[in-house]
Chains A and B, each alone.
Chain A
Amino acid sequence: AQSVTQLDSQVPVFEEAPVELRCNYSSSVSVYLFWYVQYPNQGLQLLLKYLSGSTLVESINGFEAEFNKSQTSFHLRKPSVHISDTAEYFCAVSESIPGGGNKLTFGTGTQLKVEL
């Protein structure tokens, strides 16, 4: 079975500082990895994904994540955070399911709190 570990439940950081949210996965097969973001009182939104190809993937709002197969990691980084980045971030790994789709296994989430 696949699993995801997010070791940091909360990460406080000052605005304009860099941040890294850690994610490690466990899988016996090829993986597809995702970061979702959840703003207060909202559903989850896809932030970025790794399916294949370049191990560095980027989002439109400045986040990036690097797939590291040897370390089984998919850490999320941003060089300079903004107050609006305050949210909960979930790492997820997918596995194939009948019919050609996939189901996601989520980590427990990391609450990013950006302070002024």
Chain B
Amino acid sequence: DAGVIQSPRHEVTEMGQEVTLRCKPISGHDYLFWYRQTMMRGLELLIYFNNNVPIDDSGMPEDRFSAKMPNASFSTLKIQPSEPRDSAVYFCASSKPGLAIYEQYFGPGTRLTVT
């Protein structure tokens, strides 16, 4: 399997612009998680989906952030408008209860820089 795929790997944008991060989970995985990693706050869970349905978005920092999962093989995390404090590495992870119970498989991350 190709693992969790994220794109782009690097994104540089100006403050105020819209940013869309993309994730393709491992085929057959029921759960998809979005995390943000910063030096100050470490690794934070932003939102997770089960069977394409958002279950808990309490980690989303504010209304500028939104996430969707239109089908089992694709999810987006959108920031509009972006701000310099959004600069971070954003990870997507997926998991499948059962065969690999409790294990989450992480993508390589998207490094976002907002200037």
Contact = CB atoms under 8 A, between A and B. Distances in A.
A97 B102 contact: no
Contacts of A46: 103-105
Contacts, number: 63
A108 B39 CA distance: 9
Interface string B42-77: 110100101100011000000000000000000000
Contact of A106 (B42, B102, B109): B42
Contacts of A43: 4, 91, 93, 106-109
Nearest to A94: B102
Find the residue from B43, B56, B93, B107 having the highest chain A CB count within 10 A.
B43
B97 interface: yes
Contact of B45 (A98, A104, A107): A104
Interface string A86-115: 000010001001111111111111000000
A4 to B, nearest CB: 10
A49 B51 CA distance: 25
Shortest Cβ-Cβ A-B pairs, 5 listed: A43-B106, A108-B42, A106-B43, A99-B50, A100-B97
Interface of A: 32, 34, 36, 41-46, 49, 51, 90, 94, 97-109
Interface of B: 4, 30-31, 33, 42-43, 45, 48, 50-51, 55-56, 91, 93, 95, 97-98, 101-109
